[in-house]
Amino acid sequence: MEYTGVLVGLGNPGPRYDGTRHNCGFALVSALLELTEKEGTLSTLNGGKFSCELWRLRLPQLGGTWLAAMPQTFMNLSGQCVQPLLAWHKLKPEQLVVAHDELDIPAGELRFKRGGGNAGHNGLKSITQLLGTPDFYRLRLGIGRPPHKGDVINWVLGRPDADDAGKLRASLPLALDTLFAFAGKGLEAAVRMARKADAPKAPKIAVKAVKANILK
């Protein structure tokens, strides 16, 4: 089957990491799956050979058939999922959107871009190394930086407080709109849509997850 694109949400597998900042990518995939169950067509695929949980989906907003994946490697081995997944389905890096947590963006804000550096994100580093290129798309989900320098590991592997968790949940519908803008109109439309999350009062729309690994 020919696919239009693939969304890979980054995170760490297992209940220990459910709801942590580092699992924002999983949260976005979960939100997309829930929406697809209501408004589109969703099929669960066997992602074992790619070390991931994998779905095929059709949704009017995406304008075609997409794959969605949650790697079941740990974060710093994400490329071991993404590279074979793309190769097997004959997808190019420019058809890949990676959703991931971003320290350099305040909690609840979003950015969308193509290529660039990894900013110390081990998941992006692994994907870039194994694909041999940084030229894939990134949907960056802001988590903000820890109040004390040097506490980054505990920060990303920790769970946000109630205020930040609310901001992150509220950003998920707009993150989906950003993905849909990219699918329908391309990079610049997605960049503009993501910036809308910078408004002082982002809409507090709760998105349920079809899986447990969503921000709580």
Cα 136 from Cα 122, distance rounded (Å) = 15
With cut-offs at 50, 70 and 90, classify the pLDDT of residue 68.
very high
Catalytic residues: 22
Q: Residues 33-48: what's their mean pLDDT? A: 97
- Say whether pLDDT at 85 is over 90: yes
pLDDT value, residue 173: 97
Instruction: Tell me if 148 sits within 8 A of 212, measured CB to CB.
Output: no
Residue 199 is predicted with a pLDDT of 57
Contact residues for 87 (Cβ-Cβ < 8 A; gap 6+): none
Q: Within 10 A of 160 (CB to CB), how many other CB atoms are there?
A: 22
What value does the mean pLDDT take over residues 155-159? 94
Cβ pair 77, 130 in contact under 8 A: no
Average pLDDT estimate for 146-155: 86
Q: Tell me: the pLDDT tens digits for 163-183?
A: 999 999 999 999 999 999 999
In order of start, what are the domains of the chain with their CATH numbers? 5-198 (3.40.50.1470)
Q: Tokens for 80?
A: 């071991």
Residue among 63, 49, 58, 55 at smallest CA distance from 29: 55
- Candidates 183, 1, 178; CA nearest to 95 is 183
Residue 20 has pLDDT above 60, yes or no: yes
pLDDT at residue 202, rounded to an integer:
43
Q: Residues 194, 174: contact at Cβ < 8 Å?
A: yes
